[in-house]
Structure 1
């Protein structure tokens, strides 16, 4: 049965033609919580394909306006400081400290069948995450995220695609961050060997 027939049955009138294509609506329901531990306050940690590599421990942060890359991922992707373009704005770390970025680099990020270019800012700061993708990535993908449902949804070829987060990875990352705060501070820089 077509959408126009359903509309006609509901309104009791003749079928109306629908102009244009109707896209599925991106949203979340209680069904999207199946398989998650509830209640929770876990971060949304996903795996994304960045520059052709599957990268784990990527945090999706819809509250941030900057896509961030940390030194371990930068080294792991075999990138060099010469690959960076200048980035002159200061950033504030999770610890509330000002961080001077090392630079910026544009890399392809694949999510299912879709690939978008992301401008990552390299920061010399500790993080249990390899990267943070934020509003610029979400908007480029036309995606919506839900920490409650532990997933990201976006349209691709008129179908809803999902990126599932991992609560166990998010919990490992928070444990690592807590342990890091308890460690004595070292004067060594995270990127001194870049």
Structure 2
């Protein structure tokens, strides 16, 4: 993660952000001529409207296409779920240990199995980029195979949930990665079914305890 995983690193990062906000100045960066990125109404073609679907894409990792990847700008980590890790045939030895837990909305802590770095390619030739992404490998139930979050900033990517699309600068213009609306709906239904199943299990367990 950009802000670091240790307590000291997180506090240092917070002070840097606060300083920039108060002084309205940021560290000088060398200027890079990037193409202008924007969205047009025609970018939303072939989508069912109105919609509130998540942005779900397919990315390439080496010789594998990883489907059902959730794009989540609010995620604090890039996540690869263990079933997908296994299907890709990645050796367990490639996992780098980590002690940083993931904390969900309910405060539930999940400890990753480790970190694996994969070369991820997005876009169509020649407007494409390949970047190394450090994924936290997590062994828990999910309708998704992976979640892309903080790495979007390193790609200088711009997302639009209305257009279900990501756009990003490349050496040959603006690259695009379109979301899959059908996959997004399938994942939503699958997640709802998982929640219903877990609730049913909890009710049964409480009933067993009451007897």
| Interval of TM-score (by shorter of Structure 1 and Structure 2) | 0.7 to 0.9
**Using the alignment, how far apart are the partners of 2:104 and 2:63 within structure 1?**
28
Instruction: Output aligned runs, 1:130-145, within 5 Å.
Output: 130-136=145-151, 138-145=152-159
Is the CA contact (8 Å cut-off) linking 1:51 and 1:77 kept in structure 2?
A: no
1:181 aligns with 2:195: yes
**Using the alignment, how far apart are the partners of 1:40 and 1:94 within structure 2?**
24
**Using the alignment, how far apart are the partners of 1:158 and 1:69 within structure 2?**
29
What are the superposed Cα offsets for residues 141-185 of structure 1, whole Å, 9 maximum, x if unpaired? 221111111000011124111101011100000101111112254
Q: 1:108 aligns with which of 113, 119, 134?
A: 119
Aligned to 2:37: 26
Q: Calculate the aligned-residue CA RMSD, in Å.
A: 2.0
Q: Between Structure 1 and Structure 2, which shows a larger proportion of helix residues?
A: 2
Unaligned runs of 5+ in 1: 1-19, 187-194
Number of residue pairs matched by the alignment: 166
> Which of the two has higher C-alpha Rg?
1
Is the CA contact (8 Å cut-off) linking 2:83 and 2:139 kept in structure 1?
A: no
**Using the alignment, how far apart are the partners of 2:176 and 2:193 within structure 1?**
32
1:50 aligns with 2:61: yes
1:128 aligns with 2:143: yes
TM-score with structure 1 length normalisation? 0.79
Q: Which runs of 4+ in 1 moved over 6 A?
A: none
Aligned to 1:74: 85
